[in-house]
Structure formats: C-alpha cells, structure tokens
Amino acid sequence: MREYIDFYEEGIVSSLIKFDNVSFSYGKNSVLQDIDLSVEKGEFLAVLGYNGSGKSTMAKLINGILVPSSGKVYVDGMDTSDEKNLSEIRKKAGMVFQNPDNQIVATIVEEDVAFAPENLGLDPKEIRTRVDDAIKAVGLEKHIKDAPHKLSGGQKQRVAIAGVLAMRPMCIILDEPTAMLDPKGRSLVMNVINRLNRENGITVVLITHFMEEAVLADRIIVLANGKIAMEGTPRTIFSEKDKVTSLGLEVPPVTELAIKLSENGIKVSKDIIRPEELIEAITALKEDIH
Ligand SMILES: Nc1ncnc2c1ncn2[C@@H]1O[C@H](COP(=O)(O)OP(=O)(O)O)[C@@H](O)[C@H]1O
Ligand SMILES: [Mg+2]
C-alpha cells in the first residue's frame, strides 16, 4: 500500500479539497451559503450537523454529483463544474454512502471490488493487484469469493470501501457509513477508515452523527443554517458543550460522563473526549488516595 503515500509525496498543491465561497440551493431551498473550506492532503476531517443541515449536499459537491449554485469547488486543483474534470475527480475522491446494499453491484466480493477498475480499462494484472490490495486493506481476505448478500452489514460496507480503494483514490468521502451497522460492524468499519488515513495517508472526509467517531478526526466542522457554525479539533469542539447542544448535537458519551463526574466532585477534567483518557484520569485519582 506504499503507493498511496507516494501519491501524496508527489503532490505540490497543498489543499486537496477547496470550497471557495460556495453556495448551493435546491430550487428555492438554499442549503449552503458562502462556504469556504480547505481540506489538506492526508487530513481526517469529520463533518457534523443536525439532519438537513447540508452534510450530504456538501459530500455531493466534492465529487461533482452536484455543482455549486455559486462559488467553486476544487479537487486537487480541478474545478468540479468543468465536466471534463469529472472522471479524474471521481478517481481521486471516492464516495461511500450509508446503505451498503445500494453500492454493491456484483454477486461475488472480488468481482464487486473489480467493477470500477475494470471500467477504467486497466490491464487484468493491474486490476488483480488493486483488488487484492483493496480487499486486504479492509480485512476481507477470507471473503474474497463470497456472495456479498451473505455478509454482515459491516462486512458489506467494507466491500464498498474496498471498491473505492481499488480506484486508488487520494481521498475518501464517507456519508454516514456506519449509520446502518450494529456496534461491532461500526467499530470494524471505523478501524479501517482510521487505518487508511493514519497508515496509508488517504485523506478522509467523514460525515457522521456519532460523536465518538468524530473524535478520531484531526478536525471537525459543524454545519448549521447553511454555514460552518463551528470548526476546530475534536477537543476544542467538545469542550463547548452548550454550543454543541444548541446546534442539535451532543458531546461524546465519555465527555458527558466526565462532566457528570466532575460535577459530583470527582476531580477529572471536563474536556475528556476518549475513553482511555477517562480511565487514565480515574486511575491517577486512585493513586492519589493510596
Ligand atoms: N434532491 C433534493 N431536492 C430537494 N431538496 C433536497 C434534496 N436533497 C436534499 N434536500 C434538502 O436539502 C437540505 C439539506 O439536505 P442534506 O444535504 O441531505 O442534509 P444532511 O445530509 O445534513 O441531512 C434538506 O433541507 C433537504 O430536505
Ligand atoms: Mg445526509
């Protein structure tokens, strides 16, 4: 999987995705207004916001399924409103959607993963390598010959991710990829997403309504009323509980717990965002007592 990293090292342009003063309306329904946003190569960005805040619209603007009503979206310097760029943009920025059943096209896992690279007209040996690499990256080697409909939701979603990886993208945009999964499936899919970013250098844009998933990102943006209402690291975002709540979201469950403990006189920090941080804080208290 070295090649993904090499891809980045070649890059000179710093922002992989750029929204330049972007507004978007469905007819008279204005969904996004004057959005400026840069996503850097190798970054892991989480996008949060209440239902209908425009998250999916934003995802569709990235790979040119939608084009801005005004302003520009660029992917690796290419304007998404220029149709000549679309196939190149879609190779660079792959999309994964909520429902894995709608993304799987073939009756055998490896054929499904091969579908997009076959459409690129690549040579069969290259396709084989890409399919094997992609399936390995999502940990489904044992299921390469299985029928996708027999897999669990989490496995199917990983097949969909492998299908995108076989295109050798620089970036993956995932629109609530774990929304239909059980906790185990969610955790396996999140592990894969995290690893693709941290180890393979793939830029990730993750739309989610699970705060504990957003915590894994480098940066969070919160959409509300057509604008980016909050932006910052997970810790800075979730340390503003009142603001987060006013935007229709919650802080992660472990942050909620830390706040409650703190309010009950247990001396732990209120800006804890990961379970291991709370364990550490409580362990330190125990050592104080002894
Ligand atoms: N194809 C469409 N036609 C008209 N309105 C749409 C369409 N898709 C979404 N919308 C509207 O745009 C707004 C933002 O939707 P969306 O981007 O799907 O939000 P989110 O993904 O944050 O829930 C909502 O008010 C939604 O009803
Ligand atoms: Mg959506």
Query: Shortest CA distance to 220 belongs to which of 97, 61, 51, 44?
Result: 44
Residue 283 lies in a domain: no
The closest alpha carbon to 199, from 117, 136, 277, 128, belongs to 136
Task: Indicate the burial class of 248 (C-beta count within 10 angstroms; 0-12, 13-18, 19 or more).
Answer: middle
| CATH code of residue 136 | 3.40.50.300
Give the C-alpha separation, 218 to 197, whole Å.
10
* Position 270 in a domain: no
Residue 225 phi, psi dihedral angles, 5° rounding: 50, 40
- Per-residue pLDDT averaged across 58-79, rounded? 96
Q: How many domains does the chain have?
A: 1
Please tell me the distance between residue 142's alpha carbon and the centre of ligand 1 in angstroms: 38
pLDDT one-digit tens code per residue, 173-210: 999 999 989 999 899 999 999 999 999 999 999 999 99
Which of the listed residues 56, 95, 176 should we mutate to test ligand 1's pocket, taking the one with most ligand atoms within 8 A of CB?
56
Instruction: Give the mean model confidence (pLDDT) for residues 135-155.
Output: 94
215 within 8 A of 193, measured Cβ to Cβ = no
Whether 86 is covered by a domain: the verdict is yes
Whether 213 contacts 46, CB under 8 Å:
yes
Position 112 in a domain: yes
Residue type, 193: I
Could you tell me if residue 191 is inside a domain?
yes
Residue 240, amino acid: E
Count of Cβ atoms closer than 10 Å to residue 97 Cβ = 18
Residue-level pLDDT at 55: 98
For residue 85, being part of any structural domain is answered with yes
Q: Global pTM?
A: 0.92
Atom of ligand 1 nearest to the CA of 59: 17
- Which among 39, 36, 33 is positioned nearest to 16, based on CA atoms? 39
pLDDT tens column, 23-36: 999 999 999 999 99
Question: Is residue 281 included in any domain, yes or no?
Answer: no
Pocket of ligand 1 (CB under 6 A): 26, 29, 31, 49, 51-57
Q: The domain containing residue 98 runs over which residues?
A: 2-234
Residue 273 resides in a domain: no
Pocket test for ligand 1, best of 31, 67, 98 (most atoms within 8 A of CB): 31
C-alpha distances in angstroms, 250 versus 54, 189, 244, 246, 247? 18, 22, 6, 9, 9
Least confident of 51-60, 118-127, 199-208: 118-127
